[in-house]
Copies of this chain bind each other. A is one copy, B any other.
Amino acid sequence: MKRNILIIGGGGVARVVAHKCAQNNAVLGDIHIASRTLAKCHAIIDSIHDKGSLQRPGTLQAHALDAMDIEATKFLIRATRSQIVINVGSPFLNMSVLTACIETGTAYLDTAIHEDPEKVCENPPWYGNYEWKRRQACKNARVTAVLGVGFDPGVVNAYARYAMDTYFDSVESIDIIDVNAGSHGRYFATNFDPEINFREFVSTAWSWENNAWKANAMFEHRKDWDMPVAGLSTTYLTGHDEIHSMSKNLGVPNIRFWMGFSEHYINVFTVLKNLGLLSQHSVRTARGQEIVPLEVVKAVLPDPASLAPAYSGKTCIGDLIKGRKDGLPQEVLIYNVCDHKTSFEEVGSQAISYTAGVPAVAAAMLIAEGTWDIGEMVNVEELDPKLFIALMNRMGLVTRVRSAQGDHIVDPQPDVIEASTDGKLLNYG
Question: Which residues of A line the B interface, CB within 8 A?
Answer: 187-188, 195, 267-268, 271-272, 274-277, 279, 283-287, 289, 291-293, 295-301
Contacts and interface: CB of A to CB of B under 8 A. Distances in A.
Contacts of A274: 187-188
A186 to B, nearest CB: 10
6 contacts: A188-B271, A188-B274, A267-B267, A276-B300, A285-B291, A287-B295
Given A289-B295, A291-B291, 14 more contacts: A187-B275, A188-B275, A268-B271, A275-B297, A276-B300, A279-B300, A283-B296, A285-B292, A285-B295, A285-B296, A285-B298, A286-B298, A289-B289, A296-B296
A299 B286 contact: yes
> Which of A188, A291, A296 is the most central at the interface, judged by chain B CB atoms within 10 Å of its CB?
A296
A197 to B, nearest CB: 14
Given A287-B295, A291-B289, A271 B279 contact: no
Given A187-B274, A267-B267, A300 B293 contact: yes
A271 B188 CA distance: 9
4 closest A-B pairs (Cβ-Cβ)? A276-B300, A283-B299, A285-B295, A271-B271
A47 to B, nearest CB: 22
Nearest to A272: B271
Given A267-B271, A271-B267, A272-B271, A277 B300 contact: yes
Contacts of A291: 285, 289, 291, 296, 299
Contacts of A299: 283-286, 291, 293
B271 A300 contact: no
Contacts of A301: 275
A195 B287 CA distance: 12
Contacts of A277: 277, 296-297, 300
A92 to B, nearest CB: 12
Contacts of A272: 271, 275
A289 B274 CA distance: 24
A274 B187 CA distance: 7
A283 to B, nearest CB: 4
Contacts of A271: 188, 267-268, 271-272
> Which of A284, A285, A292 is the most central at the interface, judged by chain B CB atoms within 10 Å of its CB?
A285
A286 B295 CA distance: 7
A92 B187 CA distance: 32
A315 to B, nearest CB: 24
Contacts of A275: 187-188, 268, 272, 297, 300-301
Contacts of A276: 300
Contacts of A284: 299
Contact of A283 (B267, B285, B300): B300
A67 to B, nearest CB: 15
A277 B187 CA distance: 13
B296 A293 contact: yes
A231 to B, nearest CB: 27
